[in-house]
Structure formats: structure tokens, C-alpha cells
Amino acid sequence: MTARTSPLHDRHVAAGAKLADFGGWSMPIEYAGGGVLAEHAAVREAVGLFDVSHLGTGTVRGPGAAALVDACLSNDLSRIGPGKAQYTLCCVPDGEPDAGGVVDDLIVYLHGDDDVLLVPNAANAQEVLARLADAAPPGVTVTDRHEEVAVLAVQGPRSAAVLSAAGLAADLSYMAFAGGEGQEVTVCRTGYTGEHGYELLVAADRAGELWDRLLAAGAGEGIRPCGLGARDTLRTEMGYPLHGHELSRSITPNQARSGWAVGWRKPAFWGREALLAEREAGPARLLWGLRAPGRGIPRPGMAVLDDGGARVGEVTSGTFSPTLRTGIALALLDTAAQPAEGAALAVDVRGRPQPVEVVKPPFVPSHVR
């Protein structure tokens, strides 16, 4: 099956991007003239521009649209009002195999009681929207807009200056957005890097124009196009979960320390009973950070070992941290092993135990608020 391409595909090719498949989409990993390390540094020190149009987009509209989303997804929409966005989870409903596991994590944009925009991950977008459509009452319509909307991210300490120079809303509180249907660009003060930043939604046929405009506006601010390679190193330094790694049908919000994105007092959401039961009993494993002082880099799937060589967990994400200049990882560790911050463990790196220290992410300071 041929991978779908972003509306900005021609820009990426012209910039010498190395492309790879992400959730069925051909997306840039890195660009010529610097690569992941330079792109990572640009976001931490100045500003980076990402194309994340592989992310899904969908609308839920009609009387009771917000109520439907609130009754199905994990977080509590009553915590926010129109003009705000919220991180939430689509969990496996009670009564299904893997109840309480995570189908996807996503962002909800609340326009009003009858108008909600969803931004799920690429590989899971169709399932999330199909599940909501099946649960929708008469009069509520769920529409897949994946091909119609492009998503860009402007991230880094100079991101506000770039948006202002481009004539876009920059003075927004965290998780607030401006714009919507009928307006050129929707700008939300959020991101996936740990830096001050924004995510922009624009009609697919206007994406190229916006990309060029942002690069021109950021020319004096050190802006650099960034690929999904840097996006991964940046989010790992923050300890942010990636679906399929730290969240999945077999990894619950309790295990991934994502219970803050669950409205525990709500009367209903998918997987509620399974998650409440696990929360009461205590999860069998928990997500921790690992920092490697040596040269070996922990990678997903590697076993985590105690000082006696017994397996006590598994790495879910691992990479070289460009900021810390050492290997870092996220790992699910057995709670029975009683891991604690500062504990000395090891990761089996190709048959050799690599010493690691247990830490609580983020690995570097966050600047998102």
C-alpha cells in the first residue's frame, strides 16, 4: 500500500528531507544541512517548524456533540470551556478484551457544546472516529477530515516572535486556541516538545503558503524545518508518551502515569470500571525514566534488569539525548520490584548489562506553561 503524502511533500523533497512511513504517511525524519541534532537544538534554543499533517483531524457536531465526547473519552470536558483544548484518551470500553487499555491519545478542541474538533494520531484516527460515530445519538455527526486539514507545529523559545511576525495569534494561554471554521488558521498554544510553542491547523490547500510564510517570518529568529526524528528526541527528554510505546491496548493510563488525563469522578467514559479496579488494586507496572551514564543507548524492547540480573521491566522508548549527551529511556518497571528514584538498574544492550539510573521525567526542564 502506497503511503499518503502531506500537502507539504514537495517542500520536504526540495529541502532534501529524508522521508519514512509514519502511520501510513510519508513524512520527513530529518532535513539536509544539519539533521536531528541541529533540529533538536533549534527547538531548545530558538525555534523549529514541523509538519505533523499525518495527525488525524475530525469533527463532532450537532446538539450534544461535547456531551458525546465527554461520555466516551477519558478526560473531563467540564474542566475547560470554549476556546480551550484538552489532552484526553480513547480507552478500550469495558466488556471488550483489553478493557481500559488505550486505543489512542488525542487533543480535543472545544468550540462549543455542539462543535468539537479532534486531533488523534495517524494510525488510530479512523478507529477513534468510527467508535465515536457508532456511539453518536441522532443529530450528532462525526466527520473524518484527515485529508482536508494540515497540521503544523512551531516550537521553541522564539516561537511567539515568529507567529507575531507572521500576523498570527501568539498571546495565548497554555492550551488556549484562536480561530476556527471560516478562519484562515486555528492556532493553539500547545505542542509535543516541552518548549513554548504552538500547533496550527490550516486547510490542506493553504498549507504550503503558511509553511513559506512562517519560514520567512522566522528567518531572523533562527527558524529551522524539523523532522519527526527531532520530535521524538524532544518528547523523550520530556517523558511524553508515544502511542504504541508508552500507551497501547496493553498499557493503561494507570501504568503510564497518565491518570491526570482521566476524569475519575465522571459517571461514564470508555474503560472506566476496568481502570477504577486497576487503580484501586495498584498497577502491576509503572512508567519510569532511565538515564544511562555509559555509551550504550537503551532501545525499545530491551530488558531492564535488577542487580541480580533478574528481569524487572522493559524499555518502551530509548534514544540519545542531544541535550544531556547521554542515553535516556522510558521503561515500564514491575511495581513488585519496588523501583525508586535514584535506584541502580541495568539494561540488556545486545547481551551486555548497561548501568542505568531510575529517574522521574522530565529529563530536562519543561517550558510549556
Q: Are 126 and 153 within one domain?
A: no
234 falls within a domain: yes
Task: Please indicate, yes or no, whether residues 232 and 172 belong to a single structural domain of this protein.
Answer: yes
The CATH number covering residue 190 comes to 3.30.1360.120
Assigned domain for 249 exists:
no
- pLDDT score for 369: 77
pLDDT for the residue numbered 289: 98
Q: Are 64 and 138 members of one domain?
A: yes
For residues 45 and 78, state if they share a domain. Answer: no
Q: Specify the pLDDT at position 182.
A: 61
Query: Going by DSSP bridges, is the β-strand pair 197-203/47-51 parallel, antiparallel, or unpaired?
Result: unpaired
pLDDT tens for each residue of 37-74: 999 999 999 999 999 999 999 999 999 999 999 999 99
Q: Which of 99, 126, 144 is the last residue of a domain?
A: 144
Does the pLDDT value for residue 180 go beyond 90?
Answer: no
Is 314 annotated in a binding site? The answer is no
DSSP letter string, 257-268: T-GGGS-TTSS-
252 within a domain of the structure (yes/no): no
SS3 246: coil
pLDDT tens-digit map of 223-233: 999 999 999 99
In this structure, the answer to whether residues 151 and 234 fall within a common structural domain is yes
pLDDT digits (tens, 9 = 90+) for 70-84: 999 999 999 999 999
pLDDT (tens digit per residue) in 306-346: 999 999 999 999 999 999 999 999 999 999 999 999 999 99
CATH number of the domain enclosing 346: 2.40.30.110
> β-strands 47-51, 223-226: how paired?
parallel
Q: Are 280 and 273 in contact (CB under 8 A)?
A: no
The answer to whether residue 165 sits within a structural domain is: yes
- pLDDT digit string (tens) for 202-219? 999 999 999 999 999 999
Same domain? For 156 and 232 the reply is yes
- 96 plus 131 within the same structural domain: yes
Q: Tell me, yes or no, whether 139 and 288 share the same domain.
A: no
**pLDDT band at 171, cuts 50/70/90?**
very high
Is there a domain that residue 332 lies in? yes
Mean pLDDT for all residues in the chain? 97
Structural domain including 104 reads: 58-144
Is residue 136 predicted with pLDDT exceeding 70?
yes
**Structurally, how many domains does the chain consist of?**
3
Q: Identify whether 120 is part of a domain.
A: yes
Return the CATH number at 96: 3.30.70.1400
Which of these three, 144, 171, 196, is where a domain ends? 144
| Predicted pLDDT of residue 181 | 62
Do residue 127 and residue 183 come from a single domain?
Answer: no
Q: Which string of DSSP letters, residue by residue, matches 177-213?
A: EE--TTSSEEEES--SSSSSEEEEEEEGGGHHHHHHH
Same domain? For 155 and 74 the reply is no
At 232-247, the pLDDT tens digits run 999 999 999 999 999 9
Q: Is residue 262 part of a domain?
A: no
**How far is the CA of 201 from the CAs of 105, 111, 118, 252, in angstroms?**
18, 14, 11, 29
Assigned domain for 368 exists: no
Cα(293)–Cα(359) distance, integer angstroms: 12
Residues 151 and 232 placed together within one structural domain of the fold: yes
Q: Is the pLDDT confidence value at 1 over 70? A: no
By the 8 A CB rule, do 238 and 188 touch?
A: no
- pLDDT category at 294 given cuts 50, 70, 90 is confident
Omega before 137 within 30 of 0, i.e. cis: no
| pLDDT given for residue 2 in this prediction | 80
Final residue of a structural domain among 126, 144, 162:
144
Q: Are residues 120 and 166 in the same domain?
A: no
